[in-house]
Amino acid sequence: MIAGTLVTAPVLMVYTAMGIAFGVLSIQAGLSAVNTVAMSLFVYAGTAQLAGIQLLAMGVPPLSIVITTIVINSRFLVMASALAPLVARFPAWQRFLYGLEITDATFALHIGRYGRLPMRKIEAFTTNIVGHIVWVGATVAGVVIGEKVTDVERFGLDFGMPAMFIAILVPLIRSRVHVIVAMAGGAALLFYRYLGFSYWAILAATATAVLAGIATEQWTRRQPS
């Protein structure tokens, strides 16, 4: 339990920063305190929540908001598929509980930490549950300070998430194929964004990068080196 919390400490730092930022922005967008906290409790996905408060503030019809949520969160289908082998030996109800708590951060942390090794169950669940509690707690803090603080960027809160992704991505890159996949992912994201893809850009870029990886493997296998 303690090990799980310690491993998660940097992630909790990011959750705290992002949760506060979300709380502040949500109150400023006109959501009530209860709805702001409900969003962190039930939706539990930063990007979808940030988009959600903007759409709710704009008075977009609920069905459109739910569809946008599906599109934004479709990347979790990809992430959860990559996590599935790590939890394959868990009983179904534990996989269910594990699935509920998947976020960008826990995905990155668990893929980085467990890789092809068996997952340490208690550690993983502690990460998930403590993470969710801190996310909701930080949202409450953001709600409380939402009327006083207006500029979340001044405190670097928005850089917590990309910094964490960088910290987890760098050690995952262990071969030339990985370098190509990473560069293709970044370049493809810009390309699809440039073409006007909005929320689909991440999925399209991921697919492109995966194809680039497979193609590179095929090609290097054929080259006698």
Partner 1 sequence: MDQTSTFLTILAMGAVSMAIKLAPVVFLPGRQLPRWLDVSLRHLPVAVLSAMTVQLLAVVDGEIDLRLANLALWAAIPTVICATLTRSLFWTIAFGMTLVVALRWAFG
- Report the site for partner 1 in 30-59 (rule: CB under 8 A): 31-32, 34-35, 38-39, 41-45, 48, 52, 56, 59
Site for partner 1 in 156-215 (CB under 8 A): 156-173, 177-178, 181-186, 188-190, 193-194, 198, 201-202, 205-207, 209-210, 213-214
Which long-range contacts link 187-195 to residues 24+ away (Cβ below 8 Å)? 188/212
Q: Which stretch binds partner 1 (CB under 8 A): 98-106, 120-128, 129-137, 138-146?
A: 98-106
* Closest distance to partner 1 from the beta carbon of 105 (Å): 10
| 17 near partner 1, judged by CB under 8 A | yes
| 3 near partner 1, judged by CB under 8 A | no
Residues 6 or more apart whose Cβ sits within 8 Å of residue 195: none
* Closest distance to partner 1 from the beta carbon of 17 (Å): 7
| 221 near partner 1, judged by CB under 8 A | no
| 126 near partner 1, judged by CB under 8 A | no
Residue with tokens 């969160």: 73
Closer by beta carbon to partner 1, 1 or else 214: 214
Q: How many helices (H) and strands (E) does the chain have?
A: 11, 0
Give the integer Cα–Cα distance in Å for 20 and 37: 11
| 149 near partner 1, judged by CB under 8 A | no
Q: Which stretch binds partner 1 (CB under 8 A): 84-92, 124-132, 136-144?
A: 84-92
Closer by beta carbon to partner 1, 145 or else 204: 204
Question: Residue 41 is encoded by which pair of tokens?
Answer: 């409790």
Burial of 100 (0-12, 13-18, 19+ CB in 10 A): exposed
Closer by beta carbon to partner 1, 147 or else 158: 158
Which candidate, 99, 81, 54, places its Cα nearest to that of 198?
54
Residues 6 or more apart whose Cβ sits within 8 Å of residue 37: 136, 139, 140, 143
| 23 near partner 1, judged by CB under 8 A | no
| 136 near partner 1, judged by CB under 8 A | no
Closer by beta carbon to partner 1, 61 or else 224: 61
Cα–Cα distances (Å) from 187 to 73, 92, 184, 205, 212, in that order, read 21, 38, 5, 8, 12
| 133 near partner 1, judged by CB under 8 A | no
Among 1, 85, 147, 176, binds partner 1 (CB under 8 A): 85
**Which strand (E) or helix (H) includes residue 46?**
helix 46-58
